[in-house]
Structure 1
Amino acid sequence: MSYFKLNLKTLRKHKSLSQSALSDELSLTRSTLSAYENGSAEPNFKTLMRISDFFKVNIDRLLRQDMSKLTDLELKKIEEGYDVDLRGKHLRILATTVDHDNNEQIELVPTEAKAGYTAGYSDPEFISELPRLSLPFLDQNRKHRVFPISGDSMPPIPHGSLVIGEYLDDWSQLNERQPYIVVTREDGIVLKNIVDRVTKDGVLELHSTNPEYESYEVHIKDVLEIWRFVHFISKDIPDHNLNNAELSKQVSLLQRDVRKLMDKEK
């Protein structure tokens, strides 16, 4: 039994919205929204995703849990963005492609499609239009995707490299300060080392290996996908050598970071 029609009505009333106001927010007609609420019609996948995003409720909860039994405080927490499924026990959507033998393929997100990935990452049509690669050295039992990376924030990986990620379904198993490809609503696709502060503060702390770049925080509700870094492909050979001036500069930057950490401890 799906609780969708009941939950839609519950969430709408919790936000004190009329059917007309909510239908405007969701780009629907009032009659369509009314049909959803009385169960005479069901939304397609794109509309379901739009409703899920608007109310900040994961799709599995929207369909399978009777949210009318939640307290006002619990509904408020969800409204504030705390309906985060770290372990992937509920429905986490990953659009993918398969070959004629039903084996998952490795999609390449080209540079020109990078900006559109945050909007199309869960759209099967968008994903199906991406070019595919054959990389037989990868674990065939894992899902992989290739992303373009720009900038010099993550040496020794050069600017313009392609990074290969392994899809991470369980976000509670992050290895701190290990590189991950993180897809967020605001920043798009980034390669960073992660410090997991979700349990304490609801955020991931993202670090670059280049000390000239300061770390920053991303709220977990703004994270769309996480891929564990596996390999990178580049036409350039990474340069590990530093001259004295560069070495001195990096030592100064590290000293600055140490002072900041000491100040936080006070």
Structure 2
Amino acid sequence: MRTQNNFFANNLGFLRNRMKISQQDLACKLNITRKKLSALETGQTRNPIVEDLMRFSDFYRLTIDTLLSVDLPRLGELQLQELQRGGDIYPRGTKLRILATTITPDNKEHVEMVTLKAKAGYSAGYGDPDYIAQLPVFHMPQLPKDRKFRMFPVSGDSMLPVRNGSYVIVEYMQDWTVVKCGTPCVVITKNDGIVFKVVENKIEAEGTLLMISLNPAYKPYELSVNEVLELWKYHSYWTDEELEPVTTSGHLLQKIEEVHRELKALSQKL
């Protein structure tokens, strides 16, 4: 059993099983008894001493705060590795929490699809693991396995040739300041929901993103970084539209000649 908002015991068992190490072997590595380790993992020890907290923090390369307050089994493998490399749970550019995600039984990242029905509630539910768990998921073996991807719907004609009703496949950006200028991105905003635009990165200088449409009928506008909840970099897009034949200039001239011949033949009959 664990107290509210204290995930320590559950995290210890999860991390040990993730490493595929027995309680006896881990106890030897930490220089504690197996009985003590078992009591910590099952929550029988309600108030671990500081020395034990430090042992686990050093061994798993995670901060004590993370071990206590973050529900690690809900995270994907990529996020765990980022935390172990010293990544902060509050990424640069925003007071953003750890990305809610879904994983396969062998701890690999899913590609979640934000459907049109789910789109309206994403800005409110993006940080809720239960909301994310309800999204359809896909496995796309062609995508890089060391990055996190998600699919979002495109609305309107501001980003032609990516048409209304298409889905963009995008990569999660934890550090917004490294996004290169001119990069198409899905930006999750507080007030405007899901926005797909070409981004000019002005975070360091002005604390804003310049949002640009590919369709020149739409004017660029500034978006304060304080309005941004998540930022996803464009990778590719998917559509179920039928392919249209491409008309070459030679093919067009041929059609014109056929029309001329038909008109000439018709005039001779009159």
Q: TM-score range by the shorter chain?
A: 0.5 to 0.7
Q: Is 1:182–2:187 an aligned residue pair?
A: yes
Q: CA–CA distance in 1 between the matches of 2:244 and 2:199?
A: 22
> What is residue 223 of structure 2 aligned with on the other side?
218
> What is residue 143 of structure 2 aligned with on the other side?
138
What number of residue pairs does the alignment pair up?
160
Q: CA deviation at 1:175?
A: 1.0
Would the aligned equivalents of 1:157 and 1:238 in 2 still touch at CA under 8 Å? no
The Cα offsets for residues 226-262 of structure 1, whole Å up to 9 and x where unpaired, read as 0110010012358999xxxxxxxxxxxxxxxxxxxxx
Q: CA deviation at 1:98?
A: 0.8
Q: CA–CA distance in 2 between the matches of 1:217 and 1:240?
A: 37
Secondary structure at the residue paired with 2:188?
strand
Q: Is 1:105–2:81 an aligned residue pair?
A: no
Q: CA–CA distance in 2 between the matches of 1:157 and 1:94?
A: 26
Q: Is 1:86–2:81 an aligned residue pair?
A: no
Alignment partner of 1:167 out of 169, 172, 181: 172
Q: CA deviation at 1:197?
A: 1.7
Would the aligned equivalents of 1:181 and 1:226 in 2 still touch at CA under 8 Å? yes
> What is residue 254 of structure 1 aligned with on the other side?
none
Would the aligned equivalents of 2:112 and 2:150 in 1 still touch at CA under 8 Å? yes
**Pair 1:167–1:211, CA change in 2 (3 A):** same
Secondary structure at the residue paired with 1:163?
strand
Q: Is 1:116–2:121 an aligned residue pair?
A: yes
Q: CA deviation at 1:148?
A: 0.6
The Cα offsets for residues 39-80 of structure 1, whole Å up to 9 and x where unpaired, read as xxxxxxxxxxxxxxxxxxxx99xx9xxxxxxxxxxxxxxxxx
Q: CA–CA distance in 1 between the matches of 2:195 and 2:246?
A: 22
**Pair 1:196–1:99, CA change in 2 (3 A):** same
Runs of 4+ in 1 over 4 A off after TM superposition: 237-241
**Pair 1:145–1:176, CA change in 2 (3 A):** same
Q: Give the number of the structure whose alpha-carbon radius of gyration is greater.
A: 2
Q: CA deviation at 1:145?
A: 0.4
Q: Is 1:150–2:158 an aligned residue pair?
A: no
Q: CA deviation at 1:203?
A: 1.1
The Cα offsets for residues 127-158 of structure 1, whole Å up to 9 and x where unpaired, read as 01111012111111110000111111111111
Q: CA deviation at 1:166?
A: 0.5
**Pair 1:91–1:160, CA change in 2 (3 A):** closer
Q: Mean alpha-carbon deviation: is it higher for 111-120 or for 150-159?
A: 150-159
Q: Is 1:128–2:122 an aligned residue pair?
A: no
Q: CA deviation at 1:87?
A: 6.0
Q: Which runs of 5+ in 2 are unaligned?
A: 1-64, 70-89, 248-270
The Cα offsets for residues 61-105 of structure 1, whole Å up to 9 and x where unpaired, read as xx9xxxxxxxxxxxxxxxxxxxx95368x8632000111111111
Query: Scaled by the length of structure 1, what TM-score is found?
Result: 0.56
